[in-house]
Amino acid sequence: MPRVLSGIQPSGQLTLGNYIGAIQNFVKLQETHECFFMVVDLHAITVPQEPAALREQTESVAALFIAAGIDPAKASVFAQSHVSAHAELGWLFTTLAYMGELERMTQFKDKSTGKDSVGAGLFVYPTLMAADILMYNADLVPVGDDQKQHLELTRDLAQRFNQRYGDMFTIPEPYIPKVGARIMSLDDGTKKMSKSNPNPASYIALLDPPDVIRKKISRATTDSGREVKFNPAEKPEVSNLMSIYSHCAGLTLDEIEARYEGQGYGAFKKELAEHVVAKLEPLQQRYAEIRSSGEIHAILKQGAERVSVIADKTLRDAKERMGFLLPRS
């Protein structure tokens, strides 16, 4: 089976955008691919994290993976920091990367703009991301448009290693679903829905209570018109709400347009909210069960043990090719 790897940072609350754009696809991919899904806590600390919050969010993200339908018997679910080979291979790839390559990363530019000082981790984390992907020789990597540049660097580093030390790493391809890969903010249809947005009204968190979801959708930005019509260029906010509706209700965009023809935004928003609530309630119930049972710790331990067999071998092979003196067993 072809391999797929992806990860989500445990910083902030996971959103409906994470669910539609990433996690729903994870659930589908586990049926046809060998999947590695991780909580990338080492990436989270590229910006300061409160220790108790980092622990809580790491457990929460992992539990949401399972609550959303990822089956730990089919896919490996683990915390990045539980597999120490990630950090070590990340360092090896840092030595292969060039300053100019890292300086060109748009995410680094965006996150460092206007700051007096920037942590070195924020600058070099694309090489850790490369190690994450190449560790398991993943064939496909689910990425949003904002991560395609990092995947290109990963491909460059894999080719550079292979040229210097002999073919070892698979050159990964991006997996970008045609629909739903990018859910936008509720207050600005030109910006991606983000859990790091300081305005909670801009996103729907997966654990938002039903009344909060209804309030956020009722207040979501639209435009001065009345037409429920999909036109991202001229009606970005309404088009975004229609995309959410499509994924939560299982209707096509054409069906949604026909249903609300001549009705305006009021009825559309009200029924959209109910579809979102209905979609998330079973997930929230399963999440509560997982957290109260404590089973997530056993799942993460099992996942880390399973992938460590692959990760440790990859790291050892890479070090041997690079000329390290390896300990003898």
Q: Which of 180, 206, 247 has the alpha carbon at shortest distance from 22?
A: 180
Residue 239 main-chain phi, psi, to 5 deg: -60, -40
Cα-to-chain-centroid distance, residue 7: 5
289: tokens are 């069960």
Give the CA count within 13 Å in the CB-facing half-sphere of 233.
0
Residue 111: active-site member: yes
Q: Are 192 and 146 within 8 A, CB to CB? A: yes
Q: Are 207 and 51 within 8 A, CB to CB? A: no
Q: Which of 106, 145, 110 has the alpha carbon at shortest distance from 126?
A: 106
Check residue 166 and give left, alpha or beta (phi > 0: left; psi -120 to 50: alpha).
left
From 192, 215, 229, 319, the catalytic residue: 192
Residue 313: active-site member: no
**Identity (one letter) of the amino acid at 246?**
S
From 74, 111, 229, 319, the catalytic residue: 111
240: tokens are 């975004």
What gap in Å lies between CA 243 and CA 184, rounded to an integer? 9
From 195, 216, 235, 269, the catalytic residue: 195
Q: Are 166 and 183 within 8 A, CB to CB? A: no
What gap in Å lies between CA 141 and CA 227, rounded to an integer? 37
- Give how far Cα 103 sits from Cα of 98, 108, 125, 252, Å: 9, 7, 12, 42
What gap in Å lies between CA 202 and CA 198, rounded to an integer? 8
Residue 216: active-site member: no
Residues tagged active-site = 111, 192, 195
